[in-house]
């Protein structure tokens, strides 16, 4: 069993688990849990084996693990056929490190998370809810809008959930080991589908008395549609690349000097003369921008960021999966993978237009999302915008040419973001359990009680300590707390590169880092510090080992994983941790190893100040004097109208609704009513009616003409026969006369024949 | 010598008179008499041809003998029938015996 | 044609035959018709004599005149009733007349066109009657038809008795 064969097997177990669960387990929750967790564990083991093999390979960058099969023969030689294969080079090995790790943790967490929970759903028909299996009869309440609602068991479809996230993991792994853009796109699209299925998993959930709140159903559609927009442009980019180079294989396009040189040619030679903006754009640059738009969609960069916060409607493991381990990482991975294409035309000084666009979008998004995050109430929404912001960091890193820093931050972010999301899920579960306990003890909650609202929490530090400590570790990593968290090392490297090559980007990212620290501490403070602000928080508990274990594991990695990327010139620690092995390993992926920037204290200190500063301010506001019951967010007083702007996400959702969604719906309705119902159906109805008319005329013809004709003919024959009967008169002499006449005629004929001829 | 055709003409004439009698007479016995006329006409024909064409063969006369026999038989049975009908129906008019009709 | 005694005899016989026939079919009185029939039969016998078939002439007289004519007369008398003067021809007599005339025309046409002026070429062998008698008794002759005719006459006899019984 060679490494090549093992690589093929990596995505297989979760994909098989998907089919097995859907086809054979008949919804049995225990078996589905076992099948899916077993599959991802198997994948993790295989990935570790391959990873060890890859790490041990000398010069993996020049001799990556490659395996290929011919997929669609188009012509005699292998070159002209479409192939499908796997590629594990250093970048791929990095993916194989953190993707199965986080996925396994999330799977285990899911088996615990999805084992309890209720939500409101609308009652249709009789007063009994959808629970035909259980004997519980939930009460039916009526909300302000007059809808009848009842509690729905959130664990009912657990088996389907495990199947879907298995498919999701399988798709991400396909993408990670893909050796061509085509196969990558396959994994990409499957993930798009899974995002729809999983975000909208609780599709019958409604929120009482909150008419403007997005329901899971709407959120699923929104996610799919928005990423779709990005995917269309990405496909254009892929097609363009294929038409220019004739292949989509990574090693053939990105590692061939002549190929890259050819792609440096201007993309719009004639158009560029009239439109100066397009003049400087090379083919590679144009393709890069198109592919980047795919990343903008999938990794929720501005302006296609609107789907990600609403994607929080999905169950928390989904949020962890999508927004940490897999989907958004796929967008950044694409960008990092296509780095040689993006950097065509960059010769160390002066960025080509494509890179400027990428860096600009990334940096802007980082700051933009961070500002929104500081004004959110929902614990998951804070993390959602945080994810958008961090992805902006990675995108910006690629844009300024910090290839390895981007890959490093991708890895560490996946780990601590997954940790943070799962932690928030634990918190939400704890509060929900607390709500139930408090309910039994007689406290009443309004029907729109939001267990995810941080202002309903507080004082959870002592009640759910495991969650609290791991959340703290994750938060610190996110903020970049110096020296002991992985996030520090990865973020620091990006900032160092920015300081060196693009100071503008540095300052934007630094500002974002300050805000990151602030909102992290705000979140921790509101959630865990102080005293409980509601009875639900008072009674909150969380004891499931399936949820606590992954938190602990990821927390450990969150501290330790960063040390592989310590700059080799960093005092003491640089030498201690092997002189930046990550850098040396990953840098082999490119044709030319990027230079190792000299160690500079200035960006390091600045980033420390910024990060710690943000944490400190947050601590001062929210932890030193924690919020009391009913107290408003102090930030409101400080920012005033800005707070409302941030809280409402700069009203972008509303803008898109008016600018894009309503016109599309109008158009769809027109087509449906006017063309489909009116014209096409009208035509069909007309055809049907005329056929019917024709049929009736036929029937009339049949009865009137044919039947009557036949009947009268029969009657006539009858009458004729009737009149013939009189021939038989009974008089024998008449008969004899007839006979005689006949004989005479015969005789005449004979005579004429015999005697006259 | 008498030419053949004269005998044949006589025979033909007799035959036709017999036809008229069969077809046109009302009384059943008269019809039977018409039949006897026809049979006799046939006999004349047979014998005439025998004499004029092949007198050395016997066929002509033998045929005529048999015609005699058949005629006799037929006359006997026919007249018996007429008598029977007369007894049953009180009539000998052929027209009135017409039950086998439509 | 030269007038020979044969010719005269033929003329007389023909008149008897045809005239008698006419009388049979046209006389109102049935007894008269029967008598006319006898006349006709006699004339036929005469014709047979002229045709040098004396045996047949004798048989004719015996069978027809002696048996059949008598039978007819008896039947007329048995079935006689007192009827008023009725028509002795039925409704279709014009048709019958037409048919008779047509038949006569056709037969006449054939006879005259085919057999005009045919004279006998051979003489009648003298032992005709003996040979005829022998032929009625020999297998190569007419034994079988002879016997069948006997059966026929037997059947007719039985039939007539059965039918005419009371």
Which residues in chain C (69-108) have CB-CB distances under 8 A to chain B?
Answer: 71-72, 75-76, 78-79, 81, 86-93, 95-97, 99-101, 103-104, 107-108
pLDDT at A135: 46
Q: For residues A542 and A314, what is the distance between their CA atoms, to the nearest angstrom? A: 20
Q: With beta carbons less than 8 A apart as the criterion, state whether A649 and A309 touch.
A: yes
Within a domain: residue A718? Answer: no
In tens, the pLDDT along A5-63 reads 788 888 899 999 999 988 888 778 888 888 999 999 999 999 998 888 888 776 766 66
A579 and A697 fall within a common domain: no
Tokens of residue C102, six digits: 């047509």
**pLDDT tens per residue, range A343-355:** 877 776 778 888 8
Which residues lie across from A378 on neighbouring strands?
A453
Quote the minimal CA–CA distance from C72 to chain A in Å.
20
**Which residues of chain B does A726 touch, with a Cβ-Cβ cutoff of 8 Å?**
102
Contacts of B30 in chain C (CB under 8 A): 24-25, 30, 33, 88
Chain B positions touching C72 (Cβ under 8 A) are 29, 32-33, 36, 75, 79
**ipTM associated with this complex:** 0.92
Cα separation, A213 vs A215, whole angstroms = 6
In a domain, A469, yes or no: yes
Q: Is the pLDDT of residue A128 over 60?
A: no
Q: At what angle do helices A158-177 and A29-56 cross, to 10 degrees?
A: 20
Residues listed for chain C:
166
Cα–Cα nearest to C145, from C154, C135, C159, C157: C135
A372-396 average pLDDT score: 90
Rounded to an integer, what distance in angstroms lies between the CA atom of residue A100 and that of residue C64?
A: 137
One-letter-per-residue 3-state SS of A652-720: HHHHHHHHHHHHHHHHHHHHHHHHHHHHHHHHHHHHHHHHHHHHHHHHHHHHHHHHHHHHHHHHHHHHH
Do A126 and A189 fall into the same domain?
yes
Print the domain residue range for A680. Answer: 649-704
Phi, psi of A526 (to 5 degrees): -65, -35
Answer yes or no: do C96 and A748 touch at CB < 8 A.
no
Q: Looking at residues A245-268, what average pLDDT do you find?
A: 76
A734 and A608 fall within a common domain: no
Edge to edge, the sheet with strand A141-142 lists A118-122, A148-153, A141-142
B4-89: CATH topology: Helix Hairpins (1.10.287)
- Of A59-73, A199-213, A333-347, A708-722, the least confident: A59-73
Mode of pairing for the β-strands spanning A141-142 and A118-122: unpaired
Give the list of residues 6+ apart from residue A595 with CB closer than 8 angstroms, or none.
none
Crossing angle of the two packed helices B59-89 and B28-53, in degrees rounded to 10: 180
Cβ of B24 within 8 Å of Cβ of C97? The answer is yes
> Is the pLDDT score of A448 beyond 80?
no
Residue A62 confidence (pLDDT): 66
Whether residue A93 sits in one domain with residue A241: yes
CB B83 within 8 A of CB C79: yes
pLDDT value at residue B65: 94
The per-residue b/e assignment along A598-617, b for 16 or more CB within 10 angstroms, e otherwise, is eeeeebbebbbebbbebbeb
Residue A568 has pLDDT above 70, yes or no: no
Say whether residue A729 is in contact with chain B using an 8 A CB cutoff.
Answer: yes
| A409 Rama class: left (phi>0) / alpha (psi -120 to 50) / beta | alpha
Q: Is B4 on the interface with C (CB under 8 A)?
A: yes
Least confident of A442-446, C51-55, C83-87, C114-118: C83-87
Give the closest residue to A351 by CA, choosing from A504, A511, A508, A513: A504
Quote the pLDDT of residue A129. Answer: 46
A732, B22: Cβ pair inside 8 Å?
A: no
Distance between A708 CA and the closest CA of chain B, angstroms: 30
| Three-state SS at A119 | strand
Separation between Cα atoms, residue A746 and residue C99, nearest integer Å: 13
Burial bucket for residue A449 (CB in 10 Å: 0-12, 13-18, 19+): middle
pLDDT of residue C1: 62
- Position A479 scores a pLDDT of 87
pLDDT band at A134 (very low <50, low <70, confident <90, very high): very low
Q: Do C120 and B51 touch (CB under 8 A)?
A: yes
Query: How many domains is chain A partitioned into structurally?
Result: 3
Chain C residues 109-128 with CB within 8 Å of chain A: 109-110, 113-114
pLDDT higher than 70, residue C145: yes
Distance between CA atoms of residues A663 and A670, nearest Å: 10
Phi and psi, residue A86, nearest 5°: -115, 150
Segment holding A367, helix H or strand E: helix A353-373
Is residue A709 domain-resident?
no
Classify residue B93 by its DSSP letter. B
Say if CB A142 and CB A149 are below 8 A apart.
Answer: yes
Chain B nearest CA to A728, separation (Å): 5
**Per residue in A712-738, pLDDT tens?**
999 999 998 888 888 888 888 889 999
**Span A375-391, average pLDDT:** 90
Angle of helix C93-115 relative to helix A732-754, nearest 10 degrees, comes to: 30
CB-CB under 8 Å, C108 with B9: yes
Q: Which residue of A has its CA nearest to B24?
A: A733
Residue whose pair of structure tokens reads 């000084």 in the numeric block: A349
Instruction: Give the one of C48, C71, C79 whose C-beta lies nearest to B86's C-beta.
Output: C79
Q: Taking CB atoms and an 8 Å limit, are C18 and B10 in contact across chains?
A: yes
Residue with tokens 């301010």: A617
Ramachandran region, residue A667 (left: φ > 0; alpha: ψ -120 to 50; beta: rest): alpha
**Which of A731, A735, A740 to mutate against chain B (most B CBs within 10 Å)?**
A731
Helix (H, G, I), strand (E, B) or coil at A160: helix
Q: Is B5 within 8 Å of C124 (Cβ atoms)? A: no
Cβ–Cβ contact C140 with A under 8 A = no
**Are the C-beta atoms of residues A509 and A363 closer than 8 Å to each other?**
yes
Question: How many Cβ atoms are within 10 Å of A88's Cβ, its own excluded?
Answer: 28
Give the pLDDT score at C37: 96
- Of A240-254, B21-35, C146-160, the least confident: A240-254
Confirm or reject contact between B67 and chain C (CB < 8 A): no
Residues A584 and A732 grouped into a single domain: no
Q: Looking at beta carbons, which residues of chain B come within 8 Å of C59?
A: 65, 68
Distance CA A590, CA B67 (A): 136
Question: Within 13 Å, how many C-alpha atoms sit on residue A379's CB side?
Answer: 29
Determine the Cα–Cα distance for residues B73 and C157; give it in Å rounded to an integer: 7
Give the mean model confidence (pLDDT) for residues A170-185: 90
Please, what's the b/e burial string for B58-93 (b: 16 or more CB within 10 A of its CB; e: otherwise)?
bebbbbbbbebbebbbbbbbbbbbbbbbbeeeebbb
Tally of CA atoms within 13 A in the half-sphere of C106 that contains its CB:
19
Quickly tell me which residue has 């944490």 as its tokens. A615
Query: How many other C-beta atoms are found inside a 10 Å radius of the C-beta of residue B95?
Result: 17
Which residues have a Cβ under 8 Å from the Cβ of C30 and sit 6 or more positions away? Answer: B27, B29, B30, C76, C80
Co-location of A535 and A644 in the same domain: yes
Q: Subunits that touch chain A (at least 3 Cβ pairs < 8 angstroms)?
A: B, C
Q: Report the C-alpha gap between B18 and C44 in whole angstroms.
A: 14
List the alpha helices (DSSP H) in A378-479: 379-399, 403-440, 465-479
In this model, does residue A361 exceed pLDDT 60? yes
How close does chain B come to A742, measured CA to CA in Å? 14
Q: Which residue of B has its CA nearest to A738?
A: B23
Is the predicted pLDDT of residue A222 greater than 90, yes or no? no
Nearest chain C Cα distance for residue B45, angstroms: 10
Give the contacts of A471 (CB within 8 A, at least 6 positions apart).
A419, A420, A423, A424, A427, A524, A527, A528, A551
- Determine if the pTM surpasses 0.80: no
Nearest to A744 among C92, C96, C99 (CB): C99
Q: How confident is the model over C60-72, as pLDDT tens digits?
A: 999 999 999 999 9
Q: Flag whether pLDDT at A132 surpasses 60.
A: no
Q: Per-residue pLDDT averaged across A324-331, rounded?
A: 84
- pLDDT tens for chain B, 102 residues: list them: 789 999 999 999 999 999 999 999 988 999 999 999 999 999 999 999 999 988 888 899 999 999 999 999 999 999 999 999 888 888 888 888 888 887
What sign results for the dihedral spanned by CA atoms A723, A728, A731, A736? positive
Which residues are CB-contacts of A47 (< 8 A; sequence separation ≥ 6)? Answer: A10, A96, A97, A99, A100
Distance, CA of A513 to CA of A492 (rounded, Å): 10
Residues A642 and A679 in one domain: no
Select from A365, A370, A369 the least CA-distant residue to A398.
A365
Q: Is the pLDDT of residue A575 over 70?
A: no
Spell out the CATH class of C1-81: mainly alpha
The span from the CA of A377 to the CA of A389, in Å, is 17
For A480-493, what is each residue's pLDDT tens digit?
Answer: 888 777 888 888 88
Confidence check: pLDDT of A597 > 70:
no
Segment A86-104 shows an average pLDDT of 88
Yes or no: say if A266 and A281 are a contact pair by the CB < 8 Å rule: yes
Of A308, A299, A303, nearest in space to A378 by CA: A308
Instruction: Closest CB to C106: pick one of A734, A737, A748.
Output: A748
In contact, B77 and C158? CB cutoff 8 Å = no
Q: What is the DSSP letter of C81?
A: -
> What SS3 class is residue A200?
coil
Q: Which helix (H) or strand (E) holds A610?
A: helix A601-622
Computed over every residue of chain A, the mean pLDDT equals 83
Beta bridge partners of A153: A118
- Per-residue pLDDT, A692: 94
């Amino acid at each position: 069993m060679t490494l090549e064969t093992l690589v093929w097997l990596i995505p297989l177990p979760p994909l098989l688990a998907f089919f097995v669960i859907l086809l054979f387990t008949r919804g049995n929750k225990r078996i589905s849990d076992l099948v899916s967790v077993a599959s991802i564990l198997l994948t993790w083991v295989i990935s570790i084996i391959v990873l060890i093999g890859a790490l041990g390979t000398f010069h993996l960058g020049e001799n990556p693990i490659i395996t290929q099969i011919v997929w669609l023969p188009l012509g005699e030689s292998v070159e002209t056929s479409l192939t499908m294969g796997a590629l594990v080079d250093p970048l791929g090995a990095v993916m194989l490190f953190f993707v199965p790790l986080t996925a396994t943790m999330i799977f285990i967490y899911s088996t615990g998370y999805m084992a309890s929970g209720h939500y409101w759903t609308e009652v249709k028909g009789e007063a009994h809810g959808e629970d035909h299996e259980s004997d519980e009869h939930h009460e039916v309440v009526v909300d302000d809008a007059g809808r009848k609602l009842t509690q729905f068991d959130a664990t009912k479809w657990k088996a389907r959930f495990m199947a879907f996230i298995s498919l999701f993991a399988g798709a991400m792994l396909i993408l990670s080991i893909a050796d061509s853009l085509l196969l990558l796109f396959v994994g990409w699209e499957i993930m798009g589908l899974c995002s729809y299925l999983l975000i909208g998993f609780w599709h019958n959930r409604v929120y009482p008395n909150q008419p403007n709140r997005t329901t899971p159903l709407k959120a699923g559609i929104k996610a799919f549609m928005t990423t779709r927009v990005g995917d269309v442009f990405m496909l254009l980019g892929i097609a363009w690349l294929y038409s220019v180079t004739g292949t989509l294989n990574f090693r053939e396009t990105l590692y061939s000097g002549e190929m890259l040189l050819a792609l440096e040619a201007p993309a719009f030679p004639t158009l560029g003369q009239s439109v100066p903006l397009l003049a400087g754009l090379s083919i590679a640059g144009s393709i890069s921008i198109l592919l980047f738009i795919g990343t903008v969609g999938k990794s929720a960069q501005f302006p296609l960021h609107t789907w990600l916060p609403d994607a929080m409607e999905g169950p928390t493991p989904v949020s962890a999966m999508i927004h940490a381990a897999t989907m958004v990482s796929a967008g950044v991975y694409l960008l990092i993978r296509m780095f040689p294409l993006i950097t065509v035309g960059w010769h160390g000084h002066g960025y080509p237009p494509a890179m400027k666009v990428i860096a600009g979008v990334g940096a802007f998004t980082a700051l933009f999302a961070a500002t929104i995050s500081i004004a959110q109430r929902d614990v998951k929404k804070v993390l959602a915008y945080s994810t958008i912001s961090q992805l902006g960091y990675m995108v910006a890193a690629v844009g300024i040419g910090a290839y390895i820093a981007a890959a490093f931050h991708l890895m560490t972010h996946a780990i601590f973001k997954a940790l943070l999301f799962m932690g928030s899920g634990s918190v939400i579960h704890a509060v929900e359990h607390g709500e139930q306990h408090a309910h039994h003890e007689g406290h009443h909650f309004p029907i729109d009680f939001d267990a995810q609202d941080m202002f309903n929490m507080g004082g959870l530090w002592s009640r759910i300590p495991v969650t609290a400590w791991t959340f703290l570790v994750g938060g610190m990593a996110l903020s970049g707390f110096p020296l002991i968290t992985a996030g520090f090392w990865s973020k620091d490297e990006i900032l160092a590169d920015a300081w060196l090559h693009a100071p503008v980007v540095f300052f934007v990212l630094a500002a974002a880092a300050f805000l990151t620290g602030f909102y992290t501490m705000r979140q921790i403070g509101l959630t865990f510090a102080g005293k409980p602000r509601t009875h639900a928080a008072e009674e909150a508990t969380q004891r499931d080992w399936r949820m606590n274990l992954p938190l602990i594991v990821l927390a450990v990695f969150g501290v330790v994983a960063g040390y592989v990327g310590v700059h080799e010139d960093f005092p003491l620690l640089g030498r201690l941790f092997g002189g930046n092995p990550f850098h040396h390993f990953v840098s082999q992926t490119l044709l030319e190893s990027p230079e190792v920037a000299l160690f500079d204290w200035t960006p390091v200190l600045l980033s420390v100040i910024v990060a710690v500063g943000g944490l400190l301010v947050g601590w001062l506001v929210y932890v030193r004097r924690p919020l009391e019951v009913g107290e408003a967010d102090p930030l409101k007083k400080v920012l005033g109208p800005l707070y409302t702007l941030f809280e409402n996400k700069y009203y972008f959702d509303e803008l898109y609704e008016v600018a894009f969604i309503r016109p599309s719906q109008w158009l769809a309705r027109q087509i449906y009513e006017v063309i489909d119902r009116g014209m096409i159906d009208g035509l069909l109805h007309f055809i049907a009616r005329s056929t019917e008319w024709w049929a009736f005329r036929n029937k009339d013809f049949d009865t009137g003409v044919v039947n009557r004709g036949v009947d009268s003919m029969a009657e006539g024959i009858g009458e004729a026969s009737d009149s013939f009967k009189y021939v038989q008169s009974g008089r024998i002499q008449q008969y004899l006369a007839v006979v005689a006449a006949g004989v005479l005629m015969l005789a005449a004929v004979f005579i004429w024949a015999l005697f006259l001829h | 010598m008498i030419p053949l055709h004269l005998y044949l003409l006589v025979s033909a004439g007799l035959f036709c008179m017999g036809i008229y009698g069969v077809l046109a007479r009302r009384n059943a016995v008269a019809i039977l008499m018409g039949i006897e006329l026809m049979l006799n006409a046939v006999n004349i024909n047979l014998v005439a041809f025998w004499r004029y064409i092949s007198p050395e063969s016997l066929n002509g006369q033998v045929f005529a003998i048999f015609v005699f026999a058949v005629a006799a038989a037929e006359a006997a049975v026919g007249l018996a029938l007429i008598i029977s009908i007369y007894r049953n129906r009180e009539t000998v008019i052929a027209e009135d015996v017409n039950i086998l009709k439509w | 044609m030269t007038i020979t005694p044969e010719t005269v005899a033929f003329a007389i016989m023909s008149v008897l035959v045809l005239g008698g026939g006419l009388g049979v079919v046209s006389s109102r009185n049935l007894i008269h018709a029967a008598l006319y029939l006898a006349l006709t039969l006699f004339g036929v016998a005469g014709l047979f004599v002229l045709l040098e078939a004396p045996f047949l002439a004798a048989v004719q007289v015996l069978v027809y005149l002696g048996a059949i004519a008598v039978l007819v007369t008896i039947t007329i008398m048995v079935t006689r009733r007192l009827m008023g003067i009725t028509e002795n021809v039925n409704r279709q007599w014009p048709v019958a007349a037409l048919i008779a005339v047509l038949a006569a025309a056709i037969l006449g046409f054939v006879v005259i066109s085919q057999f005009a002026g045919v004279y006998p070429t051979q003489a009648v062998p003298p032992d005709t009657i003996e040979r005829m008698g022998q032929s009625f008794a020999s297998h190569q002759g007419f034994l079988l038809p002879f016997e069948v005719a006997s059966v026929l006459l037997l059947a007719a006899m039985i039939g007539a008795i059965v039918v005419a019984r009371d």
